[in-house]
A and B are shown apart, each in its own frame.
Chain A
Amino acid sequence: MDKFETFTGIAAPLPIINVDTDMIIPKQFLKTIKRTGLGVNLFDEMRYDDNGNEIPDFVLNQPAYRDAEILISGENFGCGSSREHAPWAIKDFGIRTIVAPSYADIFHNNCFKNGILPIVLPQDQVDVLMKDAEKGQNARMTVDLEAQTITSSDGEVFHFEIDSFRKHCLLNGLDDIALTLEKVSAIDSFEAQAGQARPWV
């Protein structure tokens, strides 16, 4: 996984609560064999009409937000099924950070496994950032994970909380596999000992 570095990017406003994984990526896209390439289908049903044409009103279709790297949204973001295709689509589109008052548990977990930072802020602070994001292309915010801050285009700084282990993993680009492989000698010795105790396995 890439290291999560401080960046400044465009923030897109999506003022909806309970954004579910079916909205993020509908089930007809689960037949893919790749993690990548799902970005074009992100928010498919909100983004395209029945003929596959872009719906101009949808935020990510608007010229100002086509290159958004931050998404500001409502509570319980990512509810629904456990499909990892949801964070894959978000990441593939280019979004690296989501800001919302709360997230569904599995989705929240899946974000970290895919290098996405889901920031939790109180509703009133999310409201301020939402307003800021509505300014369009100039609404460039800065995300600093090390300092645990997101700064609005007006220079207003918001501090967020994050689990220190997860922060460490994102900052260093460590995925779970890399971390577990650091314990490979423990796995080796477990395997040797279990192989003795239960040789039929």
Chain B
Amino acid sequence: MSPKTLYDKIWDAHLVDTAEDGTSLLYIDRHLVHEVTSPQAFEGLRLAGRKVRAPEKTIAVPDHNVPTTADRVNGITNEESRIQVEALDTNAKEFGVHYYPVSDVRQGIVHIIGPENGWTLPGMTIVCGDSHTATHGAFGALAHGIGTSEVEHVLATQTLIQSKSKNMKVEITGQLAPGVTAKDITLSIIGKTGTAGGTGYVIEYCGEAIRSLSMEGRMTVCNMAIEGGARAGLIAPDETTFEYIKGRPHAPKGAQWEAAMEWWKTLYSDDDAHWDKVVTIRGEDIAPVVTWGTSPEDVLPIDAVVPAPEDFEGGKVQGAKRALEYMGLTPGQRLQDIEIDTVFIGSCTNGRIEDLRAAAKILKGKKIKPGLRAMVVPGSGLVRAQAEEEGLAQIFQDAGFEWRLAGCSMCLAMNPDQLAPGERCAATSNRNFEGRQGRGGRTHLMSPQMAAAAAITGRLTDVREMMTPEPEPA
């Protein structure tokens, strides 16, 4: 048998049919659904008199439009948002899919609750009408975003029409320096390969630095595969993965667990598998980074200065010029001198318990800069509950952060949490496009630790200056 990559193995295991021109029909194991990209798909089924083929493999949750303030129990004020969420309530019920309504403690961002409840498992094919579906690749699953017509197609047939992507290996060798996180890895990769560097590929992340990451960290890395242009990103499952999954509500149990483990352990790329592209980065070379522009590839180490348009080539010269203007920055300005108005810790990139722990560690016993708006939005109700139990919520509140309910929140301007024009935000989310967090809003992407540090000083800050050195092992 010819050697295969992990992507090849999962692909082959889900192939229903291949046409002469290579177009394939792929079976989908899990279909995640949220309120923004699904109403037209359900409506399409209704008009055609079709049913959801596998409601037991379909999981729905409202997240994008949902307010994150406590008064949301009284209903959503924005008429259009309310209608979109109500449509999902109705559709979930009518078509009999698994559903976590706003009132359920397990409600949260779709890409957080899938893994949390054990829906996301190694070797699966997972889709969602959302580009950050790549997150689930952290479990060694083939996971990617789809359009609304495709959502309807998956609902009706539990399959997707696909052509195969190429294989790309991104290896992060060695160890990360203190203060460097999974977010810095993923941003640095995009900084190196560009936002179109992964176009046409499925990426497998590997190497010692990736292996050393927790599942939370791996999800952060895979989450942003799409920002690098890739269709999906994945990481081969290992003991860390199995440990995380074991005991989750929808994870296999008993004999099924044993059978699953047997298969899961075969899910890795064979030594001599063929890669169409290989990128290698030394873990030691990665610094804590921030973005300065309006594309996730506009990444620089925190101790750098704002670049000038002339530092770039081709179309990027104009792009950088426009970005600097939009961001209100001057070439040569130290990144650490950039003052911010808002801090947002949350999103499907960094809204998990470990992210909150890391931020709280920096904030413990400190206060945010007076006048700053700072909010923590846990990725799910369960993350929120756990953070309260661990005392993290108290640390955030004592520091001056707002402690919110779960949702996409300020990651995108579809709910009340938005930036005002010209407002500048240190954000742990994944997109810094113009207007992403609100019309005219300015976004700097970074890790939760760096966002916490920025909250204290009121400017972009090198978290390493705030870290208490770990005691040397005796």
Contacts and interface: CB of A to CB of B under 8 A. Distances in A.
Contacts of A183: 16-17, 25
Interface string A82-122: 10100010000000000000000010001001100000000
Contact of B39 (A34, A181, A190): A34
B56 to A, nearest CB: 10
B174 interface: no
A200 B43 CA distance: 31
Interface string A110-136: 100110000000000000000000000
Given A186-B17, A200-B260, A201-B124, A191 B80 contact: no
Contacts of A180: 25, 153, 156-157, 159, 161
Contact of B121 (A34, A177, A199, A200): A200
A66 interface: no
A37 to B, nearest CB: 11
Interface in A30-51: 30-35
Contacts of B260: 198, 200
Contacts of B147: 82, 84, 106, 110, 113
Contact of A177 (B80, B153, B259): B153
A181 B259 contact: no
A187 interface: yes
Contacts of B65: 31
A194 B159 CA distance: 13
A122 to B, nearest CB: 25
B414 interface: yes
A187 B39 contact: no
A5 interface: no
A113 B151 CA distance: 12
Contact of B156 (A181, A186, A200): A181
B39 A33 contact: yes
A146 interface: no
A106 B146 CA distance: 11
A33 B83 contact: yes
Contacts of A190: 16, 27
Contact of B40 (A35, A197, A198, A201): A35
A31 B80 contact: yes
Nearest to A31: B80
A180 B162 CA distance: 12
A40 B414 CA distance: 22
A156 interface: no
A176 interface: yes
B204 interface: no
B240 to A, nearest CB: 20
B414 A31 contact: yes
B96 interface: no
A88 B44 CA distance: 13
Interface residues of A, number: 30
A110 B157 contact: no
Contact of B159 (A82, A114, A187): A187
Nearest to A33: B39
Interface in A155-198: 165, 176-177, 180-181, 183-184, 186-187, 190-191, 194, 197-198
Interface in B144-172: 147-149, 152-153, 156-159, 161
B158 A200 contact: no
B158 A35 contact: no
B48 interface: yes
Given A186-B16, A186-B25, A187-B157, A177 B43 contact: no
Contacts of A177: 48, 50, 152-153, 156-157
Nearest to B27: A190
A123 to B, nearest CB: 22
Contact of B43 (A33, A176, A181): A33
A59 to B, nearest CB: 27
A190 B36 CA distance: 31
Given A181-B157, A186-B17, A187-B16, A114 B149 contact: yes
B252 interface: yes
B27 A191 contact: yes
The 5 closest A-B pairs by CB, nearest first: A200-B252, A33-B39, A31-B80, A113-B149, A200-B256
Interface of A: 30-35, 82, 84, 88, 106, 110, 113-114, 165, 176-177, 180-181, 183-184, 186-187, 190-191, 194, 197-201
Given A35-B40, A177-B157, 19 more contacts: A30-B36, A32-B39, A32-B80, A34-B40, A110-B149, A114-B149, A165-B21, A176-B161, A177-B152, A181-B156, A183-B16, A186-B16, A186-B25, A187-B16, A187-B159, A198-B260, A198-B263, A201-B29, A201-B57
26 contacts: A31-B81, A33-B43, A33-B84, A34-B40, A35-B40, A84-B40, A110-B149, A113-B147, A176-B153, A177-B152, A177-B157, A180-B156, A181-B157, A183-B17, A184-B157, A187-B25, A187-B53, A187-B158, A187-B159, A190-B16, A190-B27, A191-B158, A194-B13, A199-B259, A200-B121, A200-B260
